[in-house]
Structure 1
Amino acid sequence: MMIYLFLVNVTLIVFYSLYIGFLKRLTFFQWNRFYLLGSVLFSLLVPLGIFIDTSDPGFIERTLPALNLTGPLYGDSISSVIDTSDSLSHVMPPVYWTGVLLSLCWLAYRLRHAYRFAVNADSIVSFAFFNKVVLGAGQAENGIVLAHERIHVKQRHTYDVLFIETVHAFNWFNPVLFLYLKELKFQHECIADAACAEDRIAYAELLIAQAMHINSFPLLHEFSNESALKKRIRMLFTARSKSRSKYLYFSIMPALLLSASLTWVFNVSYRSIHAAGNVAAGQIPSDMKSSWRGSLSALQLSDFRSGMPIDAWKHQRTSEDEKGSVFTAVDISPQPRLGFHHFRRWIGENYRYPQEAIDAGIRGKALVSFVVESDGALSNFRIIDEPGYGIGEEIINLLKKADAWLPGQQNGLAVRVAYTLPITFNLEK
């Protein structure tokens, strides 16, 4: 989800930059209107391509912090040694959706306020709101003002504004949408002005007269809004753009290609993955041995059958999503429903040492792997390293009794995540 929002907002900024650089000064007001609306719509739709995935999800392999069965079970929380990017990925969604909720509430409040003003207006303000035209005091007989406001109603300009406001509520952190809204409303006024200003000088004088002592309402289309007055009058007397200037709208093509390319890169980033060699089944890569304390591992189990190779990989995810492919980045990591600390405690309280290990006074480490499926179930248990005496088998028997986890997610899709669990123990006769 965060990647989608990133792509949406980058595309919005690129499109707006093109508008400011090439199109803002053109007098093709209707074209500019549709460019602004189309830019926002395109920015929302194209990044959806990162979610297109028709193949089987792959693995993401993580190494859990070592579980020391000889020390205290209630020491540092396991979350303190998990990659900090995971903590951030869990914090960001609640913050984002809280902002969305507050923004939608603010929008609803302003809509209600604008509606009440439109119904009960009793002032000199003339404006249009959805399909309603309100003429200010003394303007009932002014055909120019009425014609101007009817154009806003006929072309459904209020719906344009509401669309941008809604998009902004879901992208509340991006100020560029304020600029989109400001420019869109200006184009609305220019469209209506161009249709009504047969006598440009008289029309400009009317705008100035109407602008005196008028407050601005962002969701309304006021006949004369003081903040845009100078630009509107300047545009009235600007020479019409030549038809060949419409070719400037093709400047959007590089931006379209950039947006599509970014979407493709984030969805098909398997090209950034490279093999780091093979490791015999049942062995642990040296870089993995040195990173047991919660760091990301990069182990691909291409087949769990004995004697089959284990491929080591580096860098990040592939969306080829072949069975067993590996990611070393994930939006939301899977976790036990009651948290990692409870999971650690549960293992410590329920693990039963095999009698033969007790008799032999075994001390050392064991390493087992398992897969958190896309539905949260634990599966594919495997002993990677153990000292024998049934230590590994007992760990796996215990893990099979564990409750389902909350599944991991990548780009909004549930994915299979392979975990390795190191356990340190020290038994004496």
Structure 2
Amino acid sequence: MLHYILQVVAFQILFLIIYDAFLRKETFFNLNRIYLLGTAILSIVIPFIKIERIKEVVAKDFNIRIPEVIIGNPLESIGTIDPQIAMQAGINLEPEPSSIWMIIVISGMCIATLILLIKITKLFWLAHQHPKQWLGNLLIIKLINSTKAFSFFHYIFLGEKLNGQEKSTILEHEIIHVKQKHTLDLLFFEVLRVVFWFNPLVYMYQYRMATLHEYVADAKALEHSNKAAYYDNLLAQVFETEQFSFVNPFFKQSLIKKRILMLSKSKSRPLNLSKYLLILPLISGMLVYSSCSVFKNKQDVTVARTEVKEVKQVESGEIPFATVEEAPTFTICESLKTNEERKQCMSENISKHVAKNFNTDLASELGLVGRQRINVMFKIDKDGVVTGAKARAPHPKLEEEAVRVINTLPQFIPGKHKGVSVMVPYSLPIVFQVQGKVSDDKPADSADNNRIQKIKEQSKNIDEVPFSALDKAPSIDACKGLTSEKESKTCFSMFISKYVNEKFNVNLASKLGLVGRQRLNVIFKVDKDGKVTGARARGPHPELEVEALRVINSLPQFTPGQMNGKAVTVNYSLPILFQIEPANKDKKN
């Protein structure tokens, strides 16, 4: 929604710049009227236009749909996940709250609609109160004790105090407004003012259109009137005009000078019509931008979901997986008839390979809990060999493991495009659901004793160990009396959670415009001296990451953790979960 609004505003700015710089002073009034109406409509419509041909010609990000690799419980629906585990994994079981900005926009539209209805009602009440007279298809309304003059559809309002010559000139002017249906133009912009009430450019459009209407009516009326007398009518009146933005007033003080200047202006040369051609490259550029824009889709409601990923075409001879005519594939998929079937077969077998070969204990060894995600990108070259594997994950060791597994993929039958072997980029999301009942980084229960013992054996002779392998957790004064491993770890975790709850700026996420459930992953170490070091964070916004690091780095000095009676550096991972409500902003971690 925000992206669409920004596009509309940007397009309207460009259209108005062209109008003000090149067209506003020309006497091609009818063409200018078409320009203002047409560009106002185009600015609203172009963001919805997606021309596939442009997507094929312009180098851009391509969208491909591939399955996530889920390590844990791959097909469990969110609706069946235990709420506590879902909270730990950062999965929102509740419907997303309505955006506060959407509520403000809709409220503004309702108020703007009410104001418009009040104006229209007031206008018809004015017509009802005063004497009326039909003149052909026109309804002349005589305004008692007034010099006002304006029109609305076939209604022409004339002040009783106007003399006969003035009434004749003004009537001719207002009849032109009626015949050319100028009221429809102004009502169109009134509707835009309701929908885009927050956009000042709509008001600028309407003002320019109202000015243009007066130019048109003046030019037509002068064909049958004396120019000097017409000037006198404009200058000698008491400028008393009814304040309706959708009527065409004869006397409007802010426009009198402009109207006289335009009346005295010579007609524009036919050569100046070429200025209207400026709109063609402008519209072309807008269509290219709109066609190449990518809108994000809402997250699906299952953990095992299909997602949109982006792969860039960065070199000649490199064809995105989404558009390659013959996708790279395994030997077992070669016999499939269609390219789509071969793509599906390839994706499924890559997912199986990763799920089978990935070290599923690594996340636990690193002290990570809940749902973790790795994004992997790699290429299959013209010989079918995997190259250029890269990964992004909550921890460098997870990235290393993901790259290791991808590099063990067998050689593929290379992809082909137009009969030639090509390099194909590929993107693969890997999701970790660390199993076992965990809460606030508490040690696993007895079912995981064998795994923990294995980690302890591996960590026996090193100075940096994961939290789960410690004999005794780092401690503060409140935890020093605790003797058992489980009690010390629980006390440490509870202290960290409580500290972050108290110190974190709970209003920051709301100020950044975030709503719903947000997740921050924080990793840090408590060194042999009990000091917090190496803090890193990943979250939905850089300012949230900075705030998380500020809080973690402000932790007090601890009594260091111990392994085999020796002080060691401890790796610790902390997930921070935010549930931001429009009316009630609570933070959970």
Q: TM-score range by the shorter chain?
A: 0.5 to 0.7
> Alpha-carbon deviation of 1:159?
0.9
Match of 1:127 among 150, 157, 173: 150
Tell me, yes or no, if the aligned pair for 1:62 and 1:296 is still in contact at 8 Å: no
Aligned positions of 1:128-167 closer than 5 A: 128-139=151-162, 141=164, 142-167=167-192
Tell me, yes or no, if the aligned pair for 2:50 and 2:287 is still in contact at 8 Å: no
- Does residue 281 (structure 1) correspond to residue 354 (structure 2)? The answer is yes
Deviations 1:355-413 (A, max 9, x none): xx96675667xxxxxxxxxxxxxxxxxxxxxxxxxxxxxxxxxxxxxxxxxxxxxxxxx
Tell me, yes or no, if the aligned pair for 1:103 and 1:172 is still in contact at 8 Å: yes
Q: 1:42 to 1:78 in 2, by over 3 A?
A: same
Question: Distance between the aligned counterparts of 2:187 and 2:67, measured in 1?
Answer: 41
Aligned positions of 1:103-118 closer than 5 A: 103-118=112-127
> Alpha-carbon deviation of 1:98?
2.5
> Alpha-carbon deviation of 1:178?
1.1
Tell me, yes or no, if the aligned pair for 1:12 and 1:176 is still in contact at 8 Å: yes
Match of 2:49, SS state, is helix
> Alpha-carbon deviation of 1:44?
1.5
Question: Distance between the aligned counterparts of 1:241 and 1:199, measured in 2?
Answer: 22
Q: 1:132 to 1:360 in 2, by over 3 A?
A: closer
Aligned residues: 311
Tell me, yes or no, if the aligned pair for 1:60 and 1:326 is still in contact at 8 Å: no
Gap runs ≥5 in structure 2: 56-62, 71-82, 131-142, 296-308, 315-319, 322-349, 378-385, 393-425, 430-435, 439-444, 453-573, 575-589
What is the RMSD of the two structures over their aligned residues, measured on CA atoms? 4.8
Tell me, yes or no, if the aligned pair for 1:130 and 1:156 is still in contact at 8 Å: yes
Match of 2:156, SS state, is strand
> Alpha-carbon deviation of 1:211?
4.4
Equivalent residue letter for 2:285: L
Question: Distance between the aligned counterparts of 1:31 and 1:211, measured in 2?
Answer: 32
Q: 1:213 to 1:76 in 2, by over 3 A?
A: same
Tell me, yes or no, if the aligned pair for 1:139 and 1:145 is still in contact at 8 Å: no
Tell me, yes or no, if the aligned pair for 1:61 and 1:296 is still in contact at 8 Å: no
Equivalent residue letter for 2:289: L
Question: Distance between the aligned counterparts of 1:118 and 1:51, measured in 2?
Answer: 49
Equivalent residue letter for 2:111: L
Question: Distance between the aligned counterparts of 1:61 and 1:90, measured in 2?
Answer: 28
Question: Distance between the aligned counterparts of 1:60 and 1:112, measured in 2?
Answer: 58
Match of 1:181 in 2: 206
Equivalent residue letter for 2:259: R
Match of 2:159, SS state, is coil
Larger radius of gyration: 2
Match of 1:210 in 2: 237
Match of 2:151, SS state, is strand
Match of 2:375 in 1: 298
Question: Distance between the aligned counterparts of 1:48 and 1:238, measured in 2?
Answer: 40
> Alpha-carbon deviation of 1:18?
0.5
Q: 1:166 to 1:60 in 2, by over 3 A?
A: farther
Tell me, yes or no, if the aligned pair for 2:311 and 2:427 is still in contact at 8 Å: no
Match of 1:135, SS state, is strand
Match of 1:256 in 2: 283
Question: Distance between the aligned counterparts of 1:261 and 1:214, measured in 2?
Answer: 45
Question: Distance between the aligned counterparts of 2:197 and 2:89, measured in 1?
Answer: 34
Larger RCO, structure (CA 8 Å, separation 6 or more): 1
Question: Distance between the aligned counterparts of 1:267 and 1:236, measured in 2?
Answer: 48
Match of 1:94 among 97, 103, 118: 103
Match of 1:232 in 2: 259
> Alpha-carbon deviation of 1:39?
0.4
- Does residue 246 (structure 1) correspond to residue 273 (structure 2)? The answer is yes
> Alpha-carbon deviation of 1:241?
0.7
Match of 1:150, SS state, is helix
> Alpha-carbon deviation of 1:43?
1.1
Q: 1:77 to 1:293 in 2, by over 3 A?
A: closer
> Alpha-carbon deviation of 1:103?
2.2
Gap runs ≥5 in structure 1: 64-71, 301-308, 315-324, 329-346, 350-356, 365-423, 425-429
> Alpha-carbon deviation of 1:255?
1.5
Question: Distance between the aligned counterparts of 1:100 and 1:127, measured in 2?
Answer: 27
Tell me, yes or no, if the aligned pair for 2:23 and 2:275 is still in contact at 8 Å: yes
Question: Distance between the aligned counterparts of 2:97 and 2:193, measured in 1?
Answer: 23
Aligned positions of 1:278-357 closer than 5 A: 280-282=353-355, 298=375
Tell me, yes or no, if the aligned pair for 1:128 and 1:221 is still in contact at 8 Å: yes
Match of 1:11 in 2: 11
> Alpha-carbon deviation of 1:260?
0.4
Match of 2:274, SS state, is helix
Match of 1:36 in 2: 36
Match of 2:354, SS state, is coil
> Alpha-carbon deviation of 1:111?
2.4
Q: 1:204 to 1:3 in 2, by over 3 A?
A: same
> Alpha-carbon deviation of 1:348?
7.7
- Does residue 168 (structure 1) correspond to residue 193 (structure 2)? The answer is yes
Tell me, yes or no, if the aligned pair for 1:299 and 1:313 is still in contact at 8 Å: yes
Question: Distance between the aligned counterparts of 1:256 and 1:223, measured in 2?
Answer: 35
Deviations 1:154-173 (A, max 9, x none): 11111101111211222222
Question: Distance between the aligned counterparts of 1:211 and 1:295, measured in 2?
Answer: 74
Instruction: Give the alignment's TM-score, normalised by structure 1.
Output: 0.59
Question: Distance between the aligned counterparts of 2:187 and 2:64, measured in 1?
Answer: 38
Tell me, yes or no, if the aligned pair for 2:64 and 2:310 is still in contact at 8 Å: no
Q: 1:74 to 1:28 in 2, by over 3 A?
A: same
Instruction: Give the alignment's TM-score, normalised by structure 2.
Output: 0.44
> Alpha-carbon deviation of 1:88?
10
> Alpha-carbon deviation of 1:47?
1.2
Question: Distance between the aligned counterparts of 2:11 and 2:242, measured in 1?
Answer: 34
Deviations 1:23-48 (A, max 9, x none): 01101111111100000111112211
Question: Distance between the aligned counterparts of 2:358 and 2:125, measured in 1?
Answer: 70
Q: 1:258 to 1:129 in 2, by over 3 A?
A: same
Question: Distance between the aligned counterparts of 1:263 and 1:228, measured in 2?
Answer: 37
> Alpha-carbon deviation of 1:22?
0.5
> Alpha-carbon deviation of 1:108?
2.2
Match of 1:216, SS state, is coil
Deviations 1:201-249 (A, max 9, x none): 2111101233434353322111111111111111111111111111111
